[in-house]
Amino acid sequence: MLRLNRGTKIILGIITLVVLGFMYIPMFVIISNSFNSGRVSGWPIAGFSLEWWEKALINPAVHAAVLNSVIVASVATAFALVLGTLAAFALQRFKFFGQHTVNLLIVLPITLPGIVTGVALSNTYYQVLKPMGINVGYWGMIIAHATFCVVMVFNNVIARLRRMNPNLEEASADLGAGIGQTFRLVTFPQFRPAFIAGGLLAFALSFDEIVVTIFTAPPGVETLPLWIMNQMARPNEVNQVNVVATVMILLSLIPVYFSQRAQRTSDAR
Amino acid sequence: MSTQNVRERAPRPISTALYRHPRGRLASLLTLPMVWLVGVYILSLTIMLVTAFWMTDPFTSRVKPGFTLENFVQLLTVPAYSMTALRTLGIALAVTLICAAFAIPLAVFMSQVAGPKLRAVLAILVTLPLWAGYLVKIIGMRLVWTENGFFNWALEPLGIHGPGLGVLTVIFTLVYLWFPYMAIPVYSAISQIPANLFDASSDLGARGYRTIRTVVTPLLLPSLIAGSVFTFSLSLGDFIAAMYVGGSTQMIGSIIAQNINLNPPLAAAFSFVPIVLVIVYLAAVRRTGALNNL
């Protein structure tokens, strides 16, 4: 144990409080402003009202945006699950020339700034494919999201594969199971938790993504983050954004709860 | 007879072929991901690289294929552009330093001062903002730092007036956005330091501060560097924060976003600034060997 005198402990405590205040005051102010009776967000709020909650919850644009976000994140996650798992098996089970390059290739879309990915893909969609008569439309956004989601699934699955016992698969093959049957009955159940975790992370990443989406969303289509951005430009309606933001803060408790529970079960083992 | 119980094995041509040919197995695994990543991503990056050497006709504003270094020359010679690149670099470095400066005392407090209960609560409190939406955090920062925002209201009795929306608020916001990426690895590194190192340090006469400075911080260096990769490269490419809390502050991303429709070749040329800076940073970090410990 690090021996610290009282003064140092107090200073460290104050720094911790400052960090927490810095993190949580903005969220607290957002939540308060979702109940603001005034038109303009600020502090202190003008008065209590549920007007913005009512408006936001029945706003068809919000419903459409949520639906778009769910569709894009689900389809992108499905692609990422397939691609990320295949790549994880290839890189974990084989030693081959160019392995490091392949690894870099998978990590690259998340390492480079989102704006680079966005601009590069939008350049391809609108300057190359469109003149050729190919209109990517809605799929352009899904393809872009899937590209940077692959790494989430890949990282989780490969970490699990490294700790798996390969003899079980050999045993299954010796007992006459084919590749498909072995995968279904022996291999997949072993890495299923990592597969699900990777999928959830990919979904969360896609759901929250804004920069790549700005450049790849087809005209007139809004995901939830895009709706928030467009709504911010209408100053009189900005408190509706605070309602949606409050809901998003509350939703963030779900993954925290699950990761905490997963932590506790792994500590218990 | 006993042979009756032995089932005839069904022939499995595909399984057998794949078992006999590991190369075939590898190819069947790798083809789809590689076609996707190379065909979609690398191809697009390459096309963008090429576009950066093209021209935009100033009269028709149509992109003309060709070869010119004009876009890169502009980047270096137009003062507004080169200043923006430098400003962005400065912001990214400041964000990284501030994150590191707060992550260390926070980690020390969590692992050495707080009891197990408080530690668990703090761990949740530090990770929760990670999930709370990127735009949500930017909106929150905008709300608390504007003229009629929370901090001006809270600090007014003390006679302090906040910085308003500007470069400083952009730095604060980026710290807010990326701080968990620094705090989490630093905290997990400090929890792994064996307690007898602290005992040894205090037996040799070092007090708390000195132990933090000369024993803890060097041991945290790999995790600080790992965290800095995120804080630095994520800050470098950001432009949404500058848009909402920066007032008139521009970053590299702002210039790319403004030019993507008007002058795609210039936007493409500008995209290479963050790519080059991230690569230089990663190469510098690689030399320290910290990435091997990730």
pLDDT tens digits, one per residue of A146-172: 999 999 999 999 999 988 888 888 888
Q: What residue type is assigned to position B154 of the chain?
A: A
pLDDT of the residue at B294: 47
Helix (H) or strand (E) holding B55: strand B55-56
Sort out which chain A residues have CB atoms less than 8 A from B239's CB and list them: 115, 211
Sort out which chain A residues have CB atoms less than 8 A from B40's CB and list them: 121, 143, 147
Interface test with B, best of A1, A6, A18, A23 (most B CBs within 10 A): A23
DSSP letters, A86-154, are: HHHHHHHH---TTHHHHHHHHHHHHHS-HHHHHHHHHHIIIIIITTTT---THHHHHHHHHHHHHHHHH
pLDDT of the residue at B1: 46
Q: What does the mean pLDDT of chain A come to? A: 89
Sort out which chain A residues have CB atoms less than 8 A from B209's CB and list them: 8
Give A151→chain B minimum CA distance, Å.
11
pLDDT tens digits, one per residue of A61-109: 999 999 999 999 999 999 999 999 999 999 998 888 888 888 888 888 8
Contact A42 B148 (CB under 8 A): yes
Report the alpha-carbon distance of residue B223 to residue A200 in Å, rounded: 25
Can you tell me the mean pLDDT for B58-66? 76
Backbone angles phi and psi of A164, in degrees to 5? -90, 155
CB pairs under 8 A between A and B: 263
Contact B208 A15 (CB under 8 A): no
Say what the ipTM of the complex is.
0.86
Sort out which chain A residues have CB atoms less than 8 A from B134's CB and list them: 208-210, 225
Helix (H) or strand (E) holding B265: helix B264-288
Mean pLDDT lowest for which of A17-31, A139-153, B263-277, B280-294?
Answer: B280-294
Contact B132 A30 (CB under 8 A): no
**What are the CA-CA distances from residue A19 to residues A176, A227, B224 (Å)?**
59, 30, 17
- Does the CB of A60 have a partner CB in chain B at under 8 Å? no
Report the alpha-carbon distance of residue B39 to residue B36 in Å, rounded: 5
Q: With left for phi above 0 and alpha for psi between -120 and 50, is residue B103 left, alpha or beta?
A: alpha
- Does the CB of A16 have a partner CB in chain B at under 8 Å? yes
- Does the CB of A157 have a partner CB in chain B at under 8 Å? no
pLDDT tens digits, one per residue of A167-215: 888 888 888 888 888 888 988 998 898 999 899 999 999 999 999 999 9
- Would you state the structure tokens that stand for residue B160, as one six-digit string? 């302090």
Sort out which chain B residues have CB atoms less than 8 A from A124's CB and list them: 43-44, 47-48
Q: Across chain B, how many H-helices and E-strands are there?
A: 15, 2
Sort out which chain A residues have CB atoms less than 8 A from B30's CB and list them: 86-87, 90, 102
pLDDT of the residue at B95: 97
Judged against a pLDDT cut of 50, whether residue B44 lies above it is answered with yes
Looking at the partner chain, which of B33, B139, B199 has a beta carbon nearest the beta carbon of A87? B33
Sort out which chain A residues have CB atoms less than 8 A from B48's CB and list them: 119-120, 123-124
Contact B132 A3 (CB under 8 A): no
Report the alpha-carbon distance of residue A232 to residue A211 in Å, rounded: 16
pLDDT of the residue at A247: 93
Give A15→chain B minimum CA distance, Å.
7
Sort out which chain B residues have CB atoms less than 8 A from A178's CB and list them: 12, 14-15
- pTM of the complete model: 0.88
Judged against a pLDDT cut of 60, whether residue B292 lies above it is answered with no
Residue of A nearest to B109 (CA): A12
Please give the share of chain A, as a percent, with pLDDT higher than 70.
98
